[in-house]
DNA sequence: ATCATATGTTGCAGTCAACAACAAATCTCG
DNA sequence: CGAGATTTGTTGTTGACTGCAACATATGAT
C-alpha cells in the first residue's frame, strides 16, 4: 500500500465517492460527476473500480422524464462495509449492525440487571464482531482516548473500556461519549446538517454535552455539563465538587420525573412549579457558560432534557439571556432532536463509517 | 487552474514543502525527504520548481561531519510571500510586515490618541499593503466572519472591521480576535507546540480567550472569558449582563494595578490581599466553566492576567479545583506565555501564512 | 421518423511520483 | 595518501491517474 504517489489520488477519490453515496444515498453517475467535480470518464473508472471491489452496485437506466440517455444509478452495497454500534446505558445495552449506506442490518437490546455491560456486549456481538470493519461504543461520561475517565451514571472512573471490550470480543473498539455520538447522529442523519457548531445536550442519569464542528466530533469531545458549577459552594455532588448542575437538579434524573412534576404543576402544585422553574434556570445558567465558551449555533436538548426543556423553555431562555452576550444568542437556535433516543446509536455507527472512509484514503 | 487531476498532487506537495520550511526553518533536502515522506527525486523536482518560482533558495554543501555527500540546504525566501499583521489595542496599533519563514521585515507602532484604528492602519500600511499576500488584523473582542460583534475594550458592536479596513487600504483583510491570535502565535512560534488543545487567556481592557486545537484556531474562535457569569445577579456589567467576571474584577484592568496591589499586599495591606485573592478565585471559577466546556491540556495566562496569575496562582488553582473534575485538571498545565505581548502579532502573521499555504494547494 | 439532448465509453495526451542505476562529494581507516 | 564506505543529488524509465475530445447510446420532443 503506497502512501504517496498518484495512487493516493485514486484512493482519495474512491473514498470521496463512497462517502458521497453513504451520506446522500443512491445517486446517478451524472450527479456524482457534479458533486465530486471530476470528469465523467473518471467517475466511470471509479465506479467500475468500486463495483469490482464490491462496495458499489450499479443499476441501469432510470428514466428521469427529461431528454438524454438515462444515467446509471450507483448505490452502496450494505454488506461491503459494516459497522458495529453499541450504546451503553445504566440498565441496558443497545446494539446495531449497520451497513454501508446506513441500513440497519441487525439490532438487539439487552437488559443488564447489574451485569457488566462489557459481557452483554460480548454476548450480543458474538456472531457479527468479526464481520464489522469498525466497532464503536457510546458511553455516558467523560471519555479520553478510549478510556472512561469519569461516568456518574455507570460509577466508573478511569476504566479502560476500549481495552476491556477488545479483550472480551477479540477486536478493536472505538469509544465515544453518548452526547457527542448523538450530536454526530443528529448532524449526519438528523435535522441539523446546516449547523456549523452543534451542541447536543444529553440527559441520562448524568448530564453531558457533545460538540460537532463542521460535521466532525470535537477532539477530546465530551463536555461534563452536569459538573458545571452553577452554585459555588452549593450542594455536595457525588463527584466531590460542590454546586454542580447535576447536584442542584438532583430532584430529577428521568423523563418520568419531569412528566410527574409537569402534571403536578399543571394541577396547581406550587412546589412542583417552582422546582421546574429553578431547574430550568440552573440549566440555562450552566448553558450560558458553555455557550460563552464554545459559541454554538444550535443546541439540541436530548434525553430527558428534552422533556425539561419543553416544560421550562421560558426560564431556560431567560437564564441563558442573563448569562450570554446578545450576539452569541442571536445566532443560536434551541431545539429538540429528531432521532429521539436513537441518536447516540446512529452517531456511533456514523463515527465508525467516518473511520472506514478515512481508512480508504 | 485545474481544481483536480494530478496537478493537484503537485500543488499539495509544493505547499507542504513550503509549510515545512516556514515552520521549521532551513532544512537539507535529505531532511525534507524524511519529513514529507516523498522520494529523493520528487523532493529534488519540487525544490527546483520552488526555486524557479522564487519561494525557495538553495545553498550548497553543508558539511555535517558524518560520511556521505553533503546535502543542499533549502530555505525560504522571505520576500517571496509577505504577510501584513496588525494588532489593534485600545490606545495603539502595532504593525509588522513578516516574510515567509517568519522573519520580520518591517515593524511600526502608532499611538492612537482617540483616532480610529482603521485610519492609523491605513497610514502605516500604505507602503506595503499591496506587496503582502495576506493581511490580518487582531482585535480584542468577539469576532464573527470579519465583523467585530462585541468589544468591551474598543466599545464596538457589530462593526464590520474587515470591510472598513478594505475600504481604507484597498485590499482584503482577515480579522481574528487577539486571544486566538496569541494562542496561534504561542503554538507555532512559542513554547506550546506539544499542546493539542491550547487555551490562551488574554487580559487587556477586557478578558478574552482563544483556543487552538491541533494547531488550528478553533472555528468561530474567540471566547468572551470576561462575560462568563461568576456571580448570578451580581454587579452590573457594561455589556448589560450581571455578575460577569469582568464586572466582578473591575478593580483591575492593567498590569500596573496588579503590581500596585501586590506591592500593597506585601506591605500588609489586608484589603489589597483580599482583593487579589477574590480576583484569583473569580478567575479560577470562570476558568472552571471554560475548562469543563472545552477540555484544554494547557492554559496560558497572557496580558495582565500573567501578572494576576503569578500573584494569585494558589487561589486560581484552588478555585479551579473546586469547579472542575479531577481528570480534566490532571492533564492540564497552567503556564505563562513565552512571547510576551508579541504573541498576538506573531499569531496574526501565522494566521496569514496559513492562508498563504492553503492558497497554494 | 428524425433531431436534440444528456450520458456512458474509449483512446489519447499530459502530468506526476516512485524506482533504480549512476554520479558526486564527503568521511574513515589502513 | 588512497581506496572503499556512505550519503545524497541526478537522470531516465515506468506505471498510474485524470482530463479531454470524439464517438456511441438511449431517451424525449417535434
Cβ–Cβ gap B197/A213 under 8 Å: no
- Nearest residue of B to residue A331 by CA position? B144
Q: How far apart are CA B61 and CA B76, in angstroms?
A: 17
Which three cell numbers mark A279? 431547574
A325 chain-B contacts, CB cut-off 8 A: 142, 149-150, 224, 227, 239, 241
Q: Where residue B252 falls among pLDDT bands split at 50, 70, 90?
A: low
pLDDT (tens digit, 9 = 90+) per residue, A200-257? 999 988 899 999 999 999 877 789 999 999 888 888 888 888 889 988 886 666 666 7
Nucleotide nearest to B32 (CA to C1'): D8
Range in A298-307, A309-318, B181-190, B238-247 with the lowest mean pLDDT: B238-247
Whole-number average pLDDT of chain A: 92
Query: Partners of B282 in the beta sheet?
Result: none
Which three cell numbers mark A166? 477488545
A216 chain-B contacts, CB cut-off 8 A: none
Specify the pTM. 0.94
Cβ–Cβ gap A38/B219 under 8 Å: no
Query: In the predicted model, is pLDDT for residue A4 greater than 80?
Result: no
Cβ–Cβ gap B214/A214 under 8 Å: no
Q: Is B93 helix (H, G, I), strand (E, B) or coil?
A: strand
B223 chain-A contacts, CB cut-off 8 A: 292-295
Q: Gap from B63 CA to C29 C1', in Å?
A: 20
Cβ–Cβ gap A327/B142 under 8 Å: yes
Q: Gap from A40 CA to D24 C1', in Å?
A: 15
Cβ–Cβ gap B197/A220 under 8 Å: yes
Query: In the predicted model, is pLDDT for residue A97 greater than 90?
Result: yes
Note whether B211 and B198 are within 8 A (CB): yes
Burial B294-305 (b: 16+ CB within 10 A, else e): bbbbbbbbbbbb
Nucleotide nearest to B39 (CA to C1'): C18
Q: Gap from A65 CA to D29 C1', in Å?
A: 12
Those nucleotides of strand D lying less than 7 Å from any protein Cβ are 4-12, 15-22, 24-29
Q: How far apart are CA A349 and CA A353, in angstroms?
A: 6
A142 chain-B contacts, CB cut-off 8 A: 325, 327-328
Query: In the predicted model, is pLDDT for residue B2 greater than 50?
Result: no
Average pLDDT over residues A173-196: 97
Query: In the predicted model, is pLDDT for residue A39 greater than 60?
Result: yes
The helix (run of H) or strand (run of E) holding residue A57 is strand A56-59
Residue nearest to nucleotide D18 (CA to C1'): B5
CB-closest option in A9, A39, A323 to B6: A9
Which pLDDT value is given to residue B256?
67
Range in A136-140, A316-320, B51-55, B129-133 with the lowest mean pLDDT: B129-133
Q: Where residue A1 falls among pLDDT bands split at 50, 70, 90?
A: very low
Average pLDDT over residues A20-36: 96
pLDDT (tens digit, 9 = 90+) per residue, A110-133? 999 989 999 999 999 998 988 999
Q: Where residue B254 falls among pLDDT bands split at 50, 70, 90?
A: low
Please give the share of chain A, as a percent, with pLDDT higher than 70: 96
Query: In the predicted model, is pLDDT for residue B3 greater than 80?
Result: no
Q: Left if phi > 0, otherwise alpha if psi is -120 to 50, otherwise beta: which for B8?
A: alpha
Q: Gap from B30 CA to C22 C1', in Å?
A: 18
Cβ-based neighbour number of residue B65 at 10 Å: 6
Cβ–Cβ gap B325/A229 under 8 Å: no
B37 chain-A contacts, CB cut-off 8 A: 3-4
Indicate the DSSP class of residue B159.
B
pLDDT (tens digit, 9 = 90+) per residue, A259-300? 788 778 778 787 888 888 989 999 999 999 999 999 999 999
pLDDT (tens digit, 9 = 90+) per residue, B115-136? 999 999 999 999 898 899 999 9
Cβ–Cβ gap B219/A213 under 8 Å: yes
Question: How many beta-carbon contacts under 8 Å exist across A and B?
Answer: 133
Indicate the DSSP class of residue B152.
T
Q: How far apart are CA B322 and CA A60, in angstroms?
A: 64
The helix (run of H) or strand (run of E) holding residue B178 is helix B178-189
Ranges assigned E (strand) in chain B: 27-28, 56-59, 73-76, 82-88, 92-99, 104-111, 134-139, 142-144, 147-150, 174-177, 197-203, 207-213, 216-217, 298-303, 333-335
Cβ-based neighbour number of residue A66 at 10 Å: 6
Please give the share of chain B, as a percent, with pLDDT higher than 90: 74
Cβ–Cβ gap A323/B241 under 8 Å: yes
Average pLDDT over residues B184-196: 96
**Interface test mutation site (partner B, options A41, A208, A278, A325, max chain B beta carbons within 10 A):** A325
Rg (CA), chain B: 23
Query: In the predicted model, is pLDDT for residue A301 greater than 60?
Result: yes
Q: Gap from B37 CA to C25 C1', in Å?
A: 24
Question: Higher model confidence: residue A114 or residue A21?
Answer: A21
Which pLDDT value is given to residue B1?
43
User: Does any strand C atom come closer than 7 Å to the Cβ of A60?
Assistant: no
Query: In the predicted model, is pLDDT for residue B12 greater than 60?
Result: yes
User: Does any strand C atom come closer than 7 Å to the Cβ of A68?
Assistant: yes
Q: Is B208 helix (H, G, I), strand (E, B) or coil?
A: strand
Nucleotide nearest to B65 (CA to C1'): C27
Nearest to A301 by CA among A330, A280, A318: A280
Whole-number average pLDDT of chain B: 92
Amino acid at each position: 500500500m503506497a502512501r504517496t504517489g498518484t495512487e493516493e489520488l485514486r484512493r482519495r477519490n474512491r473514498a470521496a465517492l463512497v462517502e458521497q453515496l453513504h451520506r446522500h444515498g443512491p445517486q446517478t453517475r451524472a450527479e456524482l460527476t457534479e458533486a465530486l467535480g471530476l470528469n465523467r470518464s473518471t467517475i466511470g473508472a471509479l465506479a467500475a473500480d468500486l463495483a469490482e471491489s464490491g462496495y458499489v452496485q450499479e443499476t441501469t437506466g432510470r428514466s428521469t422524464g427529461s431528454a438524454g440517455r438515462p444515467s446509471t444509478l450507483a448505490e452502496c452495497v450494505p454488506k461491503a462495509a459494516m459497522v458495529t454500534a453499541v450504546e451503553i446505558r445504566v440498565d441496558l445495552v443497545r446494539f446495531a449492525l449497520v451497513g454501508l449506506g446506513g441500513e440497519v442490518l441487525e439490532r438487539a437490546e439487552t437488559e443488564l440487571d447489574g451485569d457488566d455491560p462489557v459481557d452483554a456486549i460480548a454476548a450480543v456481538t458474538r456472531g457479527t464482531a468479526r464481520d464489522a470493519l469498525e466497532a464503536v461504543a457510546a458511553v455516558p461520561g467523560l471519555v479520553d482516548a478510549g478510556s472512561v475517565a469519569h461516568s456518574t451514571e455507570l460509577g466508573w472512573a478511569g476504566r479502560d473500556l476500549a481495552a476491556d471490550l477488545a479483550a472480551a470480543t477479540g477486536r478493536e473498539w472505538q469509544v465515544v461519549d453518548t452526547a457527542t455520538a448523538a450530536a454526530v447522529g443528529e448532524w449526519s442523519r438528523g435535522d441539523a446538517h446546516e449547523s456549523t457548531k452543534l451542541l447536543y445536550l444529553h440527559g441520562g442519569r448524568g448530564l453531558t454535552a457533545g460538540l460537532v464542528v463542521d460535521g466532525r466530533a470535537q477532539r477530546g469531545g465530551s463536555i461534563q455539563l452536569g459538573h458545571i458549577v452553577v452554585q459555588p459552594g452549593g450542594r455536595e455532588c457525588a463527584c466531590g465538587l460542590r454546586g454542580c448542575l447535576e447536584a442542584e437538579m438532583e430532584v430529577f434524573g428521568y423523563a418520568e420525573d419531569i412528566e410527574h412534576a409537569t402534571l403536578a404543576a399543571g394541577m396547581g402544585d406550587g412546589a412542583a412549579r417552582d422546582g421546574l422553574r429553578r431547574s430550568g434556570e440552573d440549566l440555562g445558567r450552566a448553558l450560558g457558560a458553555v455557550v460563552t465558551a464554545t459559541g454554538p449555533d444550535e443546541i439540541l436538548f436530548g434525553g430527558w432534557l428534552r422533556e425539561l426543556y419543553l416544560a421550562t423553555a421560558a426560564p431556560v431562555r431567560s437564564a441563558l439571556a442573563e448569562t450570554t452576550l446578545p450576539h452569541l444568542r442571536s445566532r443560536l437556535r434551541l431545539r429538540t432532536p429528531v432521532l429521539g433516543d436513537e441518536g447516540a446509536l446512529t452517531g456511533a455507527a456514523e463515527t465508525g463509517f467516518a473511520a472506514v472512509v478515512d481508512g480508504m484514503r
